[in-house]
């Protein structure tokens, strides 16, 4: 067994083992817990960077475990998994720091951080999955590990949100399982080979394969919050802010989007999908989601709910980009938005959490003039918001630019129209917040002044959003350089031969 085989399980274990240890720790050992958490995440980032360099230079990372004939667990490191894994691990580190600060003084932290670590393990497992069965395994485990985080507060509302989440997620999982079994009976083992299956199957089983594609997309679409499967996401905002930040900006929703990418590029392959003609359906659903999410976001007064609907809308950019799979530019735009949206959305959620934790602000109507009190937080928030709207030099602009170019190149002018309309709507629901915060006048005392000190809020709550905001600008500015996410996405697209 050489290091190429051991690297992938090691990456998974680097957060699994700390998670198990943290479960066994008593509540009071918070220093040990913090050390474990941080060491685990730094180790994971290091290992993943090693994997990234290896993949760039052509190493092959793979490990297999055969269960029964036809069911094989496969972990595989290819450029796409490297993208998602790197994003998840970096953002996990930041969210861990944030969560440590956020939950200071809350009960049951051992359980929380235990499940947190398990959740990240499972997300990386989704990234590294090498076939549909492994993907399914980690996908279902993701539901199980995120449920305790959602109901962490233990209130009636969080229970209801958790129950809703389970119903959606497990139903989606059941549909996904059915589709995977059906697909496997038709075409055999479904390894992610980067080319899809042989086109000869389409001659005999066209309708079945098209139907299975729809079922697969429904299965992952629940987590990716495609309309009308998005109902669980706004309710799940009742969870603590670190949970919302990581899960719904990065882990769960991105896992769904990642699933769509894998299905389109690896399981079916662009050629087969063009033959089957189901992509317009995906594009239509994505477009509807983009517009619906933005419109619903306009109507929300609760800050986190507005951000939730914004997530629903933005993640569908990824689906839209992928659905135009014959246009490499559009695919680039979609893939790179995976990274960019994660960065921007997590910034926004961090800031929302800061506002709630420091000043008790949950609603936008309470945010007048808050920038005077918390300038750094609002600066980070503004960067994130401007990125969402798509203003250069933020990364949001880069992804929209590529999506638009791809749409134009295909002659699909409606793509540009949707991009324009949604950017306009984004501006409509983000700019008022910024205007209120920066230029508004404080209307009476803050709802709940929970913190007063030298800095505007706790140290650990302030650093993560600033870091991510900085990356949002930096990655956009150096987008054309060698080490930006965009360059890696170009690498991926080259590998897929698009």
Contacts of 305 (CB under 8 A, 6+ apart): 234, 237
Helix axes 109-128, 3-24, angle to 10 degrees: 160
Backbone angles phi and psi of 61, in degrees to 5:
-105, 120
Is 332 in contact with 484 (CB distance < 8 Å)? no
CB of 182 to other proteins, least distance (A): 5
Q: Is the peptide bond before 268 cis (omega within 30 degrees of 0)?
A: no
Q: Which is nearest to 13 in space by CA: 53, 43, 50?
A: 43
CB of 137 to other proteins, least distance (A): 4
Judged by beta carbon, residue 154 or residue 277, the one nearer other proteins is 154
Judged by beta carbon, residue 1 or residue 68, the one nearer other proteins is 68
Q: Does 20 bind other proteins (CB under 8 A)?
A: no
Q: Does 491 bind other proteins (CB under 8 A)?
A: no
Q: Does 144 bind other proteins (CB under 8 A)?
A: yes
Q: Which is nearest to 465 in space by CA: 386, 349, 357, 369?
A: 349
Q: Which two tokens stand for residue 352?
A: 């929302």
Q: Which is nearest to 325 in space by CA: 256, 262, 273, 289?
A: 273
Q: Does 174 bind other proteins (CB under 8 A)?
A: yes
Is 489 in contact with 80 (CB distance < 8 Å)? no
The region of 6-14, 165-173, 249-257, 369-377 touching other proteins under the rule CB under 8 A is: 165-173
Q: Which of 10, 30, 62, 163 binds other proteins (CB under 8 A)?
A: 163
Judged by beta carbon, residue 118 or residue 346, the one nearer other proteins is 118
Q: Which of 50, 164, 170, 276 binds other proteins (CB under 8 A)?
A: 170
Contacts of 17 (CB under 8 A, 6+ apart): 40
Binding mask 122-141 for other proteins (x = CB under 8 A): -----------x--xx--xx
Judged by beta carbon, residue 35 or residue 167, the one nearer other proteins is 167
Q: Does 159 bind other proteins (CB under 8 A)?
A: yes
CB of 252 to other proteins, least distance (A): 16
Give the 3-state secondary structure of residue 105.
coil
Measure the CA–CA gap between 248 and 272, rounded to whole angstroms.
31
Measure the CA–CA gap between 159 and 265, rounded to whole angstroms.
37
Judged by beta carbon, residue 100 or residue 151, the one nearer other proteins is 151
Q: Does 184 bind other proteins (CB under 8 A)?
A: yes
Q: Which of 10, 54, 178, 412 binds other proteins (CB under 8 A)?
A: 178
Q: Does 171 bind other proteins (CB under 8 A)?
A: yes
CB of 181 to other proteins, least distance (A): 4
CA angle, 95 as apex, 356 and 105 as ends, to 5°?
55
- On the CB side of 275, CA atoms within 13 Å amount to 18
Q: Could you count the other beta carbons within 10 Å of the beta carbon of residue 449?
A: 11
Judged by beta carbon, residue 185 or residue 480, the one nearer other proteins is 185
CB of 67 to other proteins, least distance (A): 4
Judged by beta carbon, residue 122 or residue 418, the one nearer other proteins is 122
Q: Does 162 bind other proteins (CB under 8 A)?
A: yes
CB of 302 to other proteins, least distance (A): 23
Judged by beta carbon, residue 170 or residue 491, the one nearer other proteins is 170
Judged by beta carbon, residue 89 or residue 190, the one nearer other proteins is 190
Residues 329-388 that bind other proteins (CB under 8 A): none
Q: Does 191 bind other proteins (CB under 8 A)?
A: no
Q: Which of 35, 46, 60, 154 binds other proteins (CB under 8 A)?
A: 154
Judged by beta carbon, residue 166 or residue 273, the one nearer other proteins is 166
Map 234-290 to HEC letters.
Answer: HHHHHCCHHHHHHHHHHHHHHHHHHHHHHHHHHHHCHHHHHHHCCHHHHHHHHHHHH
Q: Does 267 bind other proteins (CB under 8 A)?
A: no
Is 202 in contact with 271 (CB distance < 8 Å)? no
CB of 71 to other proteins, least distance (A): 6
Name the DSSP class of 131.
Answer: B
Residues 93-112 that bind other proteins (CB under 8 A): 107-108, 111
Q: Which of 177, 215, 410, 474 binds other proteins (CB under 8 A)?
A: 177
CB of 8 to other proteins, least distance (A): 16
Binding mask 44-83 for other proteins (x = CB under 8 A): ---------------------xxxxxxx-x----------
Q: Could you count the other beta carbons within 10 Å of the beta carbon of residue 140?
A: 18
Q: Does 240 bind other proteins (CB under 8 A)?
A: no
Q: How many chain residues bind other proteins (CB under 8 A)? A: 35
Burial class (CB in 10 A: 0-12, 13-18, 19+), 455: exposed
Taking the alpha carbons at both ends of the chain, their separation in whole angstroms is 34
Q: Could you count the other beta carbons within 10 Å of the beta carbon of residue 66?
A: 10
CB of 94 to other proteins, least distance (A): 27
Measure the CA–CA gap between 342 and 87, rounded to whole angstroms.
8
The footprint of other proteins (CB under 8 A) covers 65-71, 73, 107-108, 111, 133, 136-137, 140-141, 144, 148, 151, 154, 159, 162-163, 166, 170-171, 173-175, 177-178, 181-182, 184-185
């Amino acid at each position: 067994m050489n290091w190429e085989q051991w690297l992938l399980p090691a990456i998974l274990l680097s957060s699994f083992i700390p998670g198990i240890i943290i479960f066994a720790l008593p509540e009071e050992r918070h220093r040990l817990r913090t050390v474990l958490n941080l060491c685990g995440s730094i180790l994971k980032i290091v290992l993943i960077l090693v994997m990234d360099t290896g993949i760039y230079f052509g190493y092959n990372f793979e490990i297999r475990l055969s269960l029964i004939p036809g069911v094989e667990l496969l972990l595989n490191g290819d450029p796409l998994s490297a993208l998602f894994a790197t994003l998840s691990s970096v953002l996990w580190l930041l969210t861990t720091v944030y969560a440590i600060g956020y939950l200071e003084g809350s009960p049951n932290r051992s359980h929380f951080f235990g499940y947190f670590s398990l959740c990240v393990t499972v997300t990386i497992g989704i990234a590294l999955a090498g076939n549909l069965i492994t993907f399914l395994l980690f996908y279902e485990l993701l539901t199980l590990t995120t449920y305790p985080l959602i109901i962490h507060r233990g209130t009636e509302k969080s229970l209801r949100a958790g129950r809703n989440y389970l119903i959606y997620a497990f139903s989606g999982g059941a549909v996904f399982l059915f589709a995977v079994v059906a697909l496997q009976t038709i075409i055999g083992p479904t390894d992610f080979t980067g080319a899809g299956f042989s086109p000869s199957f389409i001659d005999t089983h066209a309708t079945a394969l098209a139907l299975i594609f729809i079922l697969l997309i429904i299965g992952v679409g629940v987590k990716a919050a495609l309309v009308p499967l998005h109902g669980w996401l706004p309710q799940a905002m009742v969870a603590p802010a670190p949970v919302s930040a990581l899960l719904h900006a990065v882990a769960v929703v991105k896992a769904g989007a990642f699933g769509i990418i894998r299905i389109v590029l690896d399981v079916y392959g662009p050629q087969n999908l063009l033959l089957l003609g189901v992509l317009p359906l995906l594009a239509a659903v994505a477009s509807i989601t983009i517009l619906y999410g933005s419109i619903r976001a306009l109507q929300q007064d609760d800050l986190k709910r507005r951000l939730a609907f914004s997530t629903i809308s933005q993640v569908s950019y990824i689906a839209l980009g992928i659905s135009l799979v014959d246009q490499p530019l559009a695919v680039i735009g979609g893939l790179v938005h995976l990274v960019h949206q994660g960065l921007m959305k997590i910034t926004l959620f961090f800031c929302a959490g800061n506002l709630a934790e420091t000043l008790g602000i949950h609603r936008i109507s309470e945010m007048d003039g808050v920038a005077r009190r918390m300038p750094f937080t609002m600066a980070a928030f503004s960067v994130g918001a401007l990125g969402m709207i798509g203003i250069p030099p933020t990364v949001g602009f880069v992804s929209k630019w590529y999506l638009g170019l791809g749409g134009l190149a295909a002659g699909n002018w409606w793509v540009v129209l949707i991009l324009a309309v949604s950017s306009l709507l984004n501006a409509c629901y983000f700019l008022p917040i910024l205007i209120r915060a920066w230029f508004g006048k404080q209307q009476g005392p803050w709802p709940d002044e929970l913190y007063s000190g030298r800095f505007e809020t706790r140290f650990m709550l302030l650093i993560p959003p600033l870091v991510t905001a900085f990356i949002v600008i930096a990655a956009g500015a150096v987008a054309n350089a060698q080490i930006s996410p965009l360059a890696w996405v170009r690498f991926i697209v080259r590998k897929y031969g698009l």
